[in-house]
Chain A
């Protein structure tokens, strides 16, 4: 079932004429001409759509929380910072069907009353800025943006702002700081952006995929959308698959398929290269727990694990993981979990904004100790020390980057302790 990427292979879909010919911008006509902003929020609530940026917060509910003080402008901000290792789905969507995002942004801006909407995109996606700006110009030239859209009296402009290389700016309050021209230091929540966001105005921050999903929701109606998927995992989800797979890439799934089917079926990742065995997988972006093959394919209860929010987190952190950002990273039997975890620890040390000491210092220590273990200079007590450090970071920081740095280390030790010990006991066989 495809709702977002149904047309991604149509020649010329990146450009307005083709996109429109294929049925694009119908949701804007429907929403602006026949629906009130409140009715749109209601449809999104009914759809059960959950934030695709990773936290899975119900989108309709978030929209209904936006404060509406008299005379204060409100803003919608699209989070296109996409920097979680393993995640590249938003890039795909923006690069190949930019108008889908623009269409979703217009409907969502109308629902939230945003006359100036910003797309904050990671600075490295420089060429995608051009693609988006071209799509915005085309939309504007055809009357979907600007003043008095479709004669409804609604005005809306969309601007693309480039970041400059900082993972933390994907965290919504850091993103807002960055949008204001400052360092990306997260703010303490609450107040949530919906109350006090950019320039202290009520702001909704949503992920690219979340905002694109508003288009099919308006076109088909929230109730129909909610029938796709299972339980609280409604609609479709983009998964970016990478690592040791025959066919890495971006796949749109409805959340009823099993993890096993996703990895091995030719419709999706096509199995593991050179007939190697599956060793482990991080199913939802670098910050969620790694799972060994047995716990990945089946839950601790012995049920088949499915590609949806509930099933991926079944078993909690002891035996489960999370859907997260949909970044699906696969390790084959020849890969070293210690080395992989070291690269992630280095990533988080590099990306810590430095405001909270547990995160700033803890990420540095974790990298150092993992480096020692990987390079044959570890001590047996180091494994417990690592465990201790990650425990001291988790929950003790302003934003969840601290947790995000702690969890991969914790899960690697939980499931692959023997591998850490092997490195310590066999220093000469470890990497030089």
Chain B
């Protein structure tokens, strides 16, 4: 059973306290982010039911929201997700080549995860970094002005971090 730890519960309570009495549903988006971070990077139906129970709303209200927003993962994803922007301004700066290169290097197509569960490649739409294109989101941060060399070193960095955490 999914269950928030004590620190996660403190964060949950901080989020809910921002809204007026009885409007705790307003905390749904931030709480889903918290749940996704806490339970393996994606939202299972069990997790969503748990969030519904905590916020005293119907499970369907959680599913509705989780399926609407692109940042919630409804399936397991790799340990490192490369979310590469493919919209116009990034395309003008060569994002297609970067997407192709990552795919070729990792042996996956956009939307796929490597068999070792390490990397997911995802194409996304404009992330507000158009002046620093091409770019991708990796976890909480952006990696900008991408080149093939930079991509190689990011992959290397992820592998190193994963090895260090094992």
Select the stretch in A186-194, A217-225, A335-343 that faces chain B: A335-343
- Give min CB distance, B38 to chain A, whole Å: 15
Pick from B20, B33, B129: contact of A123, CB under 8 Å = B33
- Chain B residues contacting A127 (CB-CB under 8 Å) are 140-141
Inter-chain contact A165/B130, CB cutoff 8 Å: no
Q: Which residue of A lies closest to B89 (CB)?
A: A242
Pick from B26, B33, B70, B128: contact of A87, CB under 8 Å = B128
Inter-chain contact A164/B131, CB cutoff 8 Å: no
Q: How far is the CA of A87 from the CA of B88 in the complex (A)?
A: 12
Q: A181 with B130: in contact, given A244-B92, A343-B91 (CB under 8 Å)?
A: no
Inter-chain contact B18/A159, CB cutoff 8 Å: yes
Pick from B55, B92, B128: contact of A331, CB under 8 Å = B92
- Chain B residues contacting A87 (CB-CB under 8 Å) are 128, 130
- Give min CB distance, B17 to chain A, whole Å: 9
In residues 96-139 of chain B, which contact A (Cβ within 8 Å)? 124-133, 137
Q: How far is the CA of A164 from the CA of B4 in the complex (A)?
A: 20
Inter-chain contact A164/B69, CB cutoff 8 Å: yes
A229 at the interface (CB under 8 A from B): no
Question: Interface size of A by Cβ–Cβ distance < 8 Å?
Answer: 57
Inter-chain contact A347/B126, CB cutoff 8 Å: yes
Q: Which residue of B lies closest to A126 (CB)?
A: B140
With a 10 A CB-CB cut-off, give which of A83, A181, A243, A329 has the most chain B CB atoms. A181
Q: How far is the CA of A335 from the CA of B88 in the complex (A)?
A: 11
Inter-chain contact A243/B92, CB cutoff 8 Å: yes
- Give min CB distance, A329 to chain B, whole Å: 5
Inter-chain contact B71/A124, CB cutoff 8 Å: yes
Inter-chain contact A344/B23, CB cutoff 8 Å: no
Q: How far is the CA of A84 from the CA of B25 in the complex (A)?
A: 28
Q: How far is the CA of A223 from the CA of B12 in the complex (A)?
A: 46
Inter-chain contact B88/A86, CB cutoff 8 Å: yes
A415 at the interface (CB under 8 A from B): no
A379 at the interface (CB under 8 A from B): no
Pick from A86, A163, A199: contact of B29, CB under 8 Å = A163
Inter-chain contact B92/A162, CB cutoff 8 Å: no
Inter-chain contact B128/A164, CB cutoff 8 Å: no
B86 at the interface (CB under 8 A from A): yes
With a 10 A CB-CB cut-off, give which of B28, B33, B72, B87 has the most chain A CB atoms. B87
Q: How far is the CA of A166 from the CA of B23 in the complex (A)?
A: 22
Q: Which residue of B lies closest to A183 (CB)?
A: B68
In residues 144-202 of chain A, which contact B (Cβ within 8 Å)? 157, 159, 161-167, 178-184, 199
- Chain A residues contacting B71 (CB-CB under 8 Å) are 123-124, 164-165
Inter-chain contact A86/B89, CB cutoff 8 Å: yes
State the main secondary structure of chain A at its contact with B.
mixed
Q: A88 with B92: in contact, given A124-B71, A164-B72 (CB under 8 Å)?
A: no
Q: How far is the CA of A346 from the CA of B110 in the complex (A)?
A: 16
Inter-chain contact A124/B29, CB cutoff 8 Å: no
**Cβ contacts B65-82/A at 8 Å (1 or 0 each):** 100111110000000000
A422 at the interface (CB under 8 A from B): no
A46 at the interface (CB under 8 A from B): no
B48 at the interface (CB under 8 A from A): no
- Chain B residues contacting A73 (CB-CB under 8 Å) are 20
Q: A125 with B72: in contact, given A86-B89, A161-B29 (CB under 8 Å)?
A: no
Inter-chain contact A248/B132, CB cutoff 8 Å: yes
Q: Which residue of A lies closest to B129 (CB)?
A: A88
- Give min CB distance, B136 to chain A, whole Å: 11
Q: How far is the CA of A116 from the CA of B65 in the complex (A)?
A: 24
Q: A166 with B131: in contact, given A124-B137, A126-B140 (CB under 8 Å)?
A: no
- Give min CB distance, A328 to chain B, whole Å: 9
In residues 216-241 of chain A, which contact B (Cβ within 8 Å)? 240-241
In residues 338-375 of chain A, which contact B (Cβ within 8 Å)? 339-340, 343-344, 346-347, 350-351, 353
The list of the 9 closest CB pairs from A to B, nearest first, reads A181-B28, A164-B69, A165-B70, A165-B71, A248-B131, A242-B130, A181-B25, A85-B126, A183-B68
User: A88-B128, A331-B92, A343-B87 known; 17 other A-B pairs, CB under 8 Å?
Assistant: A85-B87, A85-B126, A86-B88, A86-B126, A87-B128, A127-B140, A159-B18, A165-B70, A167-B125, A180-B23, A181-B61, A199-B20, A244-B92, A248-B133, A286-B87, A346-B125, A347-B126
Q: List 18 A-B contacts (CB under 8 A).
A: A88-B128, A88-B131, A116-B18, A124-B127, A124-B137, A125-B128, A163-B29, A163-B69, A164-B69, A164-B72, A182-B25, A183-B68, A184-B69, A286-B87, A286-B88, A329-B88, A340-B91, A343-B91
